[in-house]
Amino acid sequence: MGLVALLAAAAAALAGGGDPCGDVKRLAVEDVRIVSATPIAANSGFASPDTRAPLVDAAFCRVEGVIEKEIGFELWLPPEAEWNGRLLTGGVGGQAGSFNYRELARGVARGYASASTDTGHKASDRNWLLGDPMRAVNYAERANHLLAVKVKAMIAAHYRKPLHRALFVGCSGGGRQAMTEAQRYPGDYDGIIVGAPGVNTPEMSARRMWEMIEHRKHAGLMSQADWALVARRGVAACDGDDGIKDGLVANPAACRFDIGTLLCKPGGKGECLNADQIALVRRLYGPLHDENGKRIDDGILPGVPVSATPLPEPFTPGPAYLATVLFGQGVHRDPDWDASTFRIADDLPAIDKVMNLHADNPDLGAFRRRGGKLIFYQGWADPLVLAQSTLAYFDTVARHMGRDGDVSDFLRLYMVPGMEHCVGGAGPDLFGATGGEGLDRRPEHDMLSALELWLDSGVAPGPILSVKREEGKVTAERPLCPWPQTARYRGRGDPRRGESYSCR
Ligand SMILES: [Ca+2]
């Protein structure tokens, strides 16, 4: 134990909490190596390695460990008296390779034992997928399953009490991990919150590759201001359909917007695009087809922003793009792969032979039968995981499993107007999911509390209030409605207040 840890242990003991780590270092769980167990004192303002995660004032034991050869994990254990009997696991987006410190922190702050895995490699390893072939399987599904099994055993042994419930929260790649657990290992979690999951990650990655190539091919044709104009006009075309013109569209899937209306008229003035620009915008927003004409996806909805420059890989400090890693390292086994040689018709099916990144199996029967509850959310303005992919999956599940299309006994979907990828964008984006704390922790303001209530009392979630915070202040509210309901302005009242909307 280092000096800092010793001091922290002493401080924890002085605070009357004792050492929350107890004998955790001596726990014997097969294939688990505990690297360190560090007591963190209450009110110490503990800062995790992720500077975006909140500081932690709860006392806990920080366990760092490895499963098998290289599946890294962290398990944060509250003192026994403060443990709520539950596990909260945080999924990790992009290429993983790091831990979800936001959910680890939120977990212990709410009394959970919380856990997260890097899925078996470090983000600093640029060529991680060229290593041991097990890495692909670990990344796709195995690491999170093993994490669930191992930390459940550790928690039961540490507290000498059985685990009451296990919950998983993840967005983007973390959402894909969540859905993979529900589909392939339905016994692992009782409740799941899944944001923007990219249920068909291979197709989504093919679009990313193709978009990057198109942008490079047509570099200079469209400025960022031109792309912003397209998105703005897409919003404006249907802004009033929800009862109020406020820059947010409650249901862009019902919006008809003709990009051709942006064509410059001869002698006309104002913002417009020339014919070449219109052609590129139509291509990018239209459905993706492979080189043989096979349709791959449904295209981009009106109002979704397109960026001409590659966007940073969400949540991952690593330098390369997931799509580039999947096709370059995964398919072509080449760290210096020339991305411009990408061929959808060849490369897209080839990734399935490397690993299974499909979290789109509509059969959630085993998860449903065990009493599992699942809450989806998805930003309408997400340029990375397109809203239609989540909507299409929800519809497929309803068709496949619904009693008359009804899956409301175990499944909810919330579409978030104006929200981009997992968090951010023009609309209110905070509701106690992965993006951050909402107004407060009441179930009608907080998705995690809503899931707890659903599991514990059978009270299914209704509308959940989403808020926008600017410089620490709530500047806008909007109820998120259980899909297919959407929030409609009542016609009077402050449009920034949630009470001015009804779900219909
Ligand atoms: Ca509107």
The answer to whether residue 345 is domain-embedded is no
What digits encode the pLDDT tens for the residues 230-259?
A: 999 999 999 999 999 999 999 999 999 999
Domain, as residue range, for 32: 3-202+358-459
Question: What pLDDT digit, counting tens, does each position of 279-294 carry?
Answer: 999 999 999 999 999 9
Question: Is there a contact between 464 and 446 (Cβ–Cβ < 8 Å)?
Answer: yes
Distance in Å, CA 248 to ligand 1 centroid: 4
- Element spanning 466, H or E: strand 464-470
Expressed in angstroms and rounded, the spacing between residue 135 Cα and the centre of ligand 1 is 45
Give, to the nearest 10 degrees, the angle between helix 275-285 and helix 201-217: 170
Q: How far is the CA of 463 from the centre of ligand 1 (A)?
A: 18
43 CA from centroid of ligand 1 (Å)? 43
Q: Measured in angstroms, how far is the CA atom of residue 470 from the centroid of ligand 1?
A: 20
- Report the C-alpha gap between 135 and 203 in whole angstroms: 21
CB 481 within 8 A of CB 487: yes
| CA 327 to ligand 1 center in whole angstroms | 39
DSSP string for residues in 336-386? T--GGG--HHHHHHHHHHH---B------HHHHHTT-EEEEEEETT-SSS-
In-domain check, residue 319: no
- Residue 451 maps to a domain: yes
Distance 440 CA to ligand 1 centre (A): 25
Phi-psi region of 376 (alpha: psi -120 to 50; beta: other; left: phi over 0): beta
Alpha helices in 90-142 (DSSP H): 101-109, 134-137
Instruction: Look at residue 298 and give its three-state secondary structure.
Output: coil
* Residue 194 resides in a domain: yes
Ligand 1 centroid vs 382 CA: distance in angstroms? 17
Question: What is the chain's Cα-based Rg?
Answer: 23
- How close is the Cα of 405 to the center of ligand 1, in Å? 29
Average pLDDT over residues 98-121: 97
Decide if 277 is inside a domain: no
Report d(CA 108, CA 104) in Å as an integer.
Answer: 7
- 306 C-alpha to ligand 1 centroid (Å): 20
pLDDT band with cut points at 50, 70 and 90 for residue 335: confident
pLDDT over 70 (residue 17) = no
d(CA 301, ligand 1 centre) in Å? 15
Sign of the Cα torsion 280, 285, 286, 288 reads: positive
- Residue 236 C-alpha to ligand 1 middle, in angstroms? 8
In a domain, 114, yes or no: yes
Cα separations in angstroms, 207 against 55, 143, 198, 323: 37, 26, 12, 9
Residue labelled with tokens 């270092």: 25
pLDDT tens profile 40-77: 999 999 999 998 888 999 999 999 999 999 999 999 99
- 460: nearest Cα among 413, 393, 423, 503: 413
Alpha-carbon gap, residue 65 to 34, rounded angstroms? 4
> Does 466 map to a domain?
no
Ligand 1 center from residue 387 Cα (angstroms): 18
Instruction: Give the pLDDT confidence of 296-319 residue by residue, as tens digits.
Output: 999 999 999 998 765 544 434 445
Number of independent structural domains in the chain: 1
- Residue 312, sorted as left (phi over 0), alpha (psi -120 to 50) or beta, turns out to be beta
Mean pLDDT of 368-382: 97
Check which CATH number belongs to the domain holding 135 and give it: 3.40.50.1820
Residue 299 lies in a domain: no
Q: How far apart are CA 498 and CA 332, in angstroms?
A: 50
| φ/ψ (deg, to 5) at 430 | -120, 120
- pLDDT band of residue 137 (cuts 50, 70, 90) is very high
